[in-house]
Structure formats: C-alpha cells, structure tokens
Amino acid sequence: MSYLKNNDIEAMIIDLDNTIAPWDSDQVAEPDRQWLDALQSAGIRIMIVSNNKEKRVEQFAAGLGLPYIFSAAKPFKRSFLKAVELLGAQRQRTVVVGDQIFTDVLGGNSLGLHTVLVEPMASKEFAGTKVLRAMERFVLKKITMTEGFDDE
C-alpha cells in the first residue's frame, strides 16, 4: 500500500490470469478479494485488463464488481490506453500489476505507467506459458545484469 501512496497512484490496471487467479481456477481467493476491496476503499480505481476471452474475464469482473477489458492484446498499447482513459487517470499515477514481463510489465513501461511484477499464482500451466516463463527468466537475468529498467 505504501508503494501506491508514495507514488501518488490513483488507478490500477490489473491482470487476471495468474495474478488474481490461477488460470485453471474460476475463483478469486478471499485475501485477494479483500486486498482489492481495501484498495478501492483507499480511493484507487481498478480495472481488469486481460488477454483472455470475454466469458472468463466478465465472470471475474462481475464477481468483483470491477470494470474490465477482455482480449486486450497486451503488450500492445491500445488496451492500456483505453483503460487509463476509462479510469480517468493520469498515466504517471497509474500502475499495471501482472505476472508477465512481456505482456504486463513491458507493455505498461512502454507507456510510462508504473508496473509491478507479481509472482505467478499458477498451479498447472499451459506449455506455452512455461516457454514464455523461461524467456522471462532469461530477460530478468539480463535486466539484473544491466541493473534494471530505466527508472524515472
């Protein structure tokens, strides 16, 4: 929470799969539900932005009472920009939270949004996700060696 206060964050773009729910689950765990409620009580406006299909994204969004964008095609810019606009937020006061470097973090960074990479909460994963994950580890290693992203 203090990260959000320190950076004057007013809006959050949150990923769905493996960020607030494992991809093979249709439930948001109670602690995460409470976390999202607490953020909203603190005045943070939240939108789910997911590359997944409408049926799944809508179901979670309805359960959480949050607006959403499905088939978002992250890391491309369009859905991030649409979310920022719909949230009525300033880019420098918006944070993207997700579990994937390529889609969530690089996509958000390319627009000057704050980004937070979370540990994926997956239990079982698609093979494709594993491959992507391996690439992410490689990138992470490179980032560590070159001392991180350009940090404003």
**Site residues (CB under 5 A) for Mg ion?**
15, 17-19, 99
Q: Which is nearer to Mg ion, 11 or 48 (CB)?
A: 48
Q: Would you say 114 and 11 are in contact if contact means Cβ atoms under 8 Å apart? A: no
The smaller minimum CB distance to Mg ion, of residues 35 and 90, is found at: 35
> Cβ of residue 136: shortest distance to Mg ion, in angstroms?
11
Helices (H) and strands (E) in the chain, counts: 6, 5
- Sign, Cα dihedral of 149, 7, 72, 99: positive
Q: What would the two tokens of residue 78 be? A: 């369009």
Residue closest to 96 by CA, chosen among 25, 88, 111:
111
Minimum gap (Å) between residue 145 Cβ and Mg ion: 25
> Residue 93 or 133: which CB sits closer to Mg ion?
133
Identity of the residue, 15 or 136, whose beta carbon is nearer to Mg ion in the bound complex:
15
Residue carrying structure tokens 């590359």:
51
What is the rounded distance in angstroms from the CA atom of residue 30 to the CA atom of residue 131? 30
CB of 47 to Mg ion, least distance (A): 15
Shortest distance, CB of residue 104 to Mg ion, whole angstroms? 7
